[in-house]
């Protein structure tokens, strides 16, 4: 029998995606098992879902860490931290953003991320999935999780049809724009915000009687199916990356890395 893919999950909220993934694992519909659940927030009700399923869980209190960083400007950084290197590789902020703002963001997140890494490394895992984890991850964390030359190891689910509506309010932004279809996307995490290679997407119609709440419900139902499907593609080694350059419709030279599904 092929080993089951060991999946770590990070959440911030109710964990309905976590539950959908655990259910598909339990039913053996996907060749995976959840080996830990982490949260940035001790109030996340999704942690109870981990507890009820006897899955190890932990909290890294981002709010407290960031507050402490604000109070103590000379806060201690991980020994291997190189701010200039991280700054040069990040795509979370435009390069002309206020320097102090970027520095504080990256340095304070480094403290939280070092603690996350420390807690995660107690569990062996093949894939890390962000199931409603509401913090941006920096290149410091991402580079420590990924293995150079191999497929990325972090997957995120986003509540919109990327590349439209990145950020934290995908369904609200879709609805308020007046879109007639909405959807969700699973993608690998790169050094930008919701910019990584797209693995899978599902869509739904938005009708005149829809509200933000009704499209969130429609969207979540699609998410619960999409995330396990993408994990299964990863478990079965069906994904590979390809990089190519092209001229966009707006005449810009673009280089993109995309996910291709391998047949067989
Ligand atoms: C989901 O809709 C997910 O797409 C979204 O948070 C929700 C988590 O729900 N993620 C993001 O917005 C990430 N930027 P859940 O806790 O019930 O799984």
> Where residue 194 sits, what CATH number does that domain have?
3.40.50.170
3-state class of 42 per DSSP? coil
Q: What is the pLDDT of residues 204-226, one digit of tens each?
A: 999 999 999 999 999 999 999 99
> What does the pLDDT read at residue 37?
98
Question: Which of 13, 16, 24, 132 best tests ligand 1's pocket when mutated (most atoms within 8 Å of CB)?
Answer: 132
**Polymer length of the chain:** 264
CA 184–ligand 1 middle distance (angstroms): 10
CB contact at 8 A, 61 and 41:
yes
Q: Give the separation between CA 261 and CA 264, rounded to whole angstroms.
A: 10
In a domain, 173, yes or no: yes
Whether 254 is covered by a domain: the verdict is no
pLDDT tens for 79-119 read: 999 999 999 999 999 878 898 999 999 999 999 999 999 99
Instruction: List 242's β-bridge partners, or say none.
Output: 258
The whole-number pLDDT of residue 75 equals 80
Atom number in ligand 1 closest to CA 219: 2
Q: Give the whole-number percent of the chain exceeding pLDDT 90.
A: 93
Mean pLDDT, residues 233-243 taken together:
97
Ligand 1 atom index nearest CA of 169: 12
Query: Could you say which of 123, 135, 158, 187 is catalytic?
Result: 158
The pLDDT of 28-52, averaged and rounded, is 98
Max CA distance (Å), the chain:
56
Residue nearest to atom 17 of ligand 1 (CA): 16
- The domain of 84 spans 5-239
How confident is residue 191, by pLDDT bands cut at 50, 70 and 90? very high
Contact assessment for residue 87 and residue 32, using Cβ atoms and an 8 Å cutoff: no
Confidence at 128, pLDDT banded by 50, 70, 90: very high
Instruction: Give the percent of the chain with pLDDT over 70.
Output: 99
The confidence score (pLDDT) of residue 2 equals: 65
Residue 98: inside a domain: yes
Cα 162 off chain centre by: 13
Any domain includes 230? yes
Distance 168 CA to ligand 1 centre (A): 9
The rounded Cα 66 to chain-centroid distance in angstroms is 20
Looking at ligand 1, which residue's alpha carbon is closest to its atom 5?
132
- Give the pLDDT mean for 127-141: 98
Is residue 259 in some structural domain? no
- Asked whether residue 260 is domain-assigned, the answer is no
Ligand 1 and 132: CB distance under 6 A: yes
Q: How many domains does the chain have?
A: 1
Would you place residue 192 in the very low, low, confident or very high pLDDT band (cuts 50, 70, 90)? very high
Ligand 1 pocket residue status of 17, Cβ below 6 Å:
yes
77-85: which pairs have CB atoms within 8 A and are 24 or more residues apart?
77/107, 77/110, 77/111, 78/110, 78/111, 78/114, 78/140, 81/107, 81/110, 81/140, 83/107
* Mean pLDDT confidence for 182-198: 98
H or E segment at 181? strand 181-188
Q: Is ligand 1 within 6 A of the CB of residue 46? A: yes
| Contact of 239 with 179, CB cutoff 8 Å | no
Separation of 152 CA from ligand 1 center, angstroms?
21
pLDDT of 259 higher than 60: yes
Please say if the pLDDT value at position 150 is more than 60: yes
Give the residue whose CA is nearest to atom 14 of ligand 1: 168
Whether 135 is a known active-site residue: answer no
Q: Report the pLDDT averaged over residues 151-156.
A: 98
**Inside any domain, residue 130:** yes
- The DSSP line for 2-32 is PPPEEEEEEESS--HHHHHHHHHHHTTSSSE
């Amino acid at each position: 029998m092929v080993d089951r893919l060991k999946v770590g999950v990070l959440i911030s909220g109710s964990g309905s995606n976590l539950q959908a993934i655990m259910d598909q694992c339990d039913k053996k519909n996907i060749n995976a098992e959840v080996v830990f659940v982490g949260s940035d927030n001790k109030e996340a009700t999704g942690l109870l879902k981990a507890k009820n399923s006897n899955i190890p869980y932990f909290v890294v209190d981002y709010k407290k860490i960031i507050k402490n960083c604000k109070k103590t400007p000379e806060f201690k950084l991980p020994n291997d931290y190189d701010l200039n290197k991280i700054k040069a590789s990040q795509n979370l902020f435009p390069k002309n953003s206020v320097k102090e703002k970027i520095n504080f963001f990256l340095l304070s997140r480094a403290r939280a991320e070092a603690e996350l890494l420390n807690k995660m490394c107690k569990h062996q895992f093949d894939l890390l999935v962000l199931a409603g984890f509401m913090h941006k991850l920096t290149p410091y964390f991402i580079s420590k999780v990924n293995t150079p030359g191999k497929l990325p190891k972090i997957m995120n689910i986003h509540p919109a049809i990327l590349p439209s509506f990145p950020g934290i309010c995908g369904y609200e932004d879709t609805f308020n724009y007046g879109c007639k279809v909405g959807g969700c996307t699973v993608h690998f995490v790169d050094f930008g915000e919701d910019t990584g290679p797209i693995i899978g997407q599902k869509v739904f119609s938005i009708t005149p009687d829809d509200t933000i709440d009704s499209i969130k419900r429609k969207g979540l139902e699609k998410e619960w199916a999409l995330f396990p499907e993408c994990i299964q593609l990863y478990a079965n080694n069906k994904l590979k990356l390809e990089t190519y350059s092209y001229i966009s419709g707006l005449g810009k030279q673009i280089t993109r890395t995309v996910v291709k599904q391998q047949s067989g």
